[in-house]
């Protein structure tokens, strides 16, 4: 995708993500010919989508459709592209909350949008007693399964995360088993991590730009506070972290590597939290007020960081993996 086309796409996506419309994001993107854009350059288009979503704090659900599309491609089942994907209650992809008890499927978890009248994909682990059980499986539930749902308030209710559950089911409508299920789920995890990393670094960049602008406006002792070295060092360090995390997130979008996506998500979560912290130091008391925008970006950062593994947890996973392997994989040209 050339620069002019990308700029036009970003302008269109900004309009779509900021307009006040209750239609699902997928419906709004159809008017842009989104499917054709993805065929032309999926990584570039999705990076633009999640970057703008982060900078604008759009509440639109882009993650759910991304997961569904990933699972549809990985499993060779295009009908799953419109499915609802249920995440574990912990929001960590390896700590699954759906299970089989007494031969019945107990489904509970979190969705990234409102409960849709479509098929649902649920990752399930420990399905003893079910033919072919053992290990991770993907349950495909029909639209009429009957969901109980409750919106999660939390620190950022604008994300519209929803806790869902069903009565114990005798069986799923369908199962995807074995290596196919594991590969599909881990591919979806990688997709989600780099997309969330892209969103987090966009938040970071927006926060740093705002803080730098403020330090040029606020004056103490007859000069702008941005001339004070203490603040310069704080913001410069935060900016450097954001630049590094942005490069790794961009590499993860095209590399198709679970490892690169894992590192990107960890770096982006750390960079975003640090950016908000240093921005708060620059803003001083005004940064604590509800009238100022900083708290909204900080709240979004905390929720996105927790999804698919917070940066502290992921750093421990990275460390354990490196110790076990005894080698440090190269990421792109870094």
| Residue 307 within any structural domain of the chain | yes
CA dihedral 255, 261, 263, 267 (to 10 degrees): 110
Residue 67 tokens read as 């997961």
Q: Look at residue 272 and tell me if it is in a domain.
A: yes
Q: Where are the beta strands (DSSP E) in 112-228?
A: 120-124, 137-141, 148-151, 162-165, 174-176, 219-220, 223-224
- What average pLDDT does this structure show over 184-206? 97
Region 297-304: what's the mean pLDDT? 96
CA–CA distance, 87 with 67 (Å, rounded to integer): 10
Whether residue 257 has pLDDT greater than 60: yes
Same domain, 190 and 298: yes
Question: Considering the domain boundaries, does residue 79 fall inside one?
Answer: no
- Report the interhelical angle of 294-306 vs 178-217 (nearest 10°): 160
**pLDDT: is 61 or 329 the higher one?**
61
Q: What is the mean pLDDT of residues 45-53?
A: 96
Same domain, residue pair 165 and 188: no
215-248 per-position pLDDT tens digit: 988 888 888 888 788 889 999 999 999 999 999 9
In total, how many domains does the chain have? 3
Name the domain boundary from 176, 195, 225: 176
Per the domain annotation, does 288 fall within a domain? yes
Q: d(Cα 185, Cα 107) in Å, to the nearest integer?
A: 17
Secondary structure (H, E, C), 217-285: HCEECCEEHHHCHHHHHHHHHHHHHHHHHHHHHHHHHHHCCHHHHHHHHHHHHHHHHHHHHHHHHHHHH
202 in the same domain as 149: no
Residue 219 belongs to domain with CATH number: 1.20.140.10
Q: What is the pLDDT of residue 129?
A: 46
Which pLDDT does position 214 carry in this prediction? Answer: 93
Please report the pLDDT score of residue 133 as a whole number. Answer: 45
Confidence of residue 334 (pLDDT cuts 50, 70, 90): low
Look-up of token digits 């900004």: 14
109 domain-assigned: yes
- Statement: residue 72 has pLDDT above 90: yes
- Domain limits for position 51: 3-59
């Amino acid at each position: 995708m050339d620069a002019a086309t990308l700029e036009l796409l970003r302008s269109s996506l900004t309009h779509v993500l900021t307009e006040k419309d209750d239609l699902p994001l997928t419906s709004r993107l159809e008017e842009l010919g989104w499917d054709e854009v993805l065929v032309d350059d999926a990584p570039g288009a999705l990076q633009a989508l999640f970057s703008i979503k982060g900078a604008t704090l759009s509440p639109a659900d882009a993650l759910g459709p991304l997961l569904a599309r990933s699972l549809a491609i990985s499993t060779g089942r295009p009908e799953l592209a419109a499915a609802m994907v249920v995440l574990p209650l912990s929001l960590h992809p390896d700590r699954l909350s759906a299970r089989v008890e007494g031969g019945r499927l107990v489904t509970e978890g979190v969705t990234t949008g409102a409960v849709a009248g479509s098929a649902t994909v649920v990752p399930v682990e420990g399905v003893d007693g079910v033919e072919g059980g053992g290990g991770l499986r993907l349950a495909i539930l029909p639209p009429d399964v009957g969901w109980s749902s409750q919106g999660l308030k939390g620190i950022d209710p604008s994300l519209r995360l929803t806790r869902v559950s069903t009565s114990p089911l005798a069986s799923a409508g369908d199962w995807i088993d074995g290596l196919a299920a594991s590969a599909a789920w881990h591919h979806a995890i990688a997709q989600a991590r780099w997309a969330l990393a892209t969103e987090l670094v966009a938040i970071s960049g927006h926060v740093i730009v705002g803080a730098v602008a403020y330090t040029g406006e606020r004056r103490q002792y007859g000069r702008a506070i941005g001339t004070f070295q203490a603040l310069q060092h704080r913001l410069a360090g935060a900016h450097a972290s954001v630049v590094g995390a942005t490069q790794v997130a961009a590499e993860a979008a095209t590399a198709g590597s679970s490892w690169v996506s894992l590192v990107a998500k960890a770096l982006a979560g750390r960079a975003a939290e640090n950016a908000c912290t240093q921005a708060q130091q620059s803003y001083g008391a005004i940064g604590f007020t509800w009238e100022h925008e900083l708290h909204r970006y900080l709240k979004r950062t905390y929720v996105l960081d927790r999804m698919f593994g917070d940066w502290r947890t992921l750093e421990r996973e990275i460390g354990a993996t490196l110790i076990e392997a005894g080698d440090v994989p190269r990421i792109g040209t870094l």
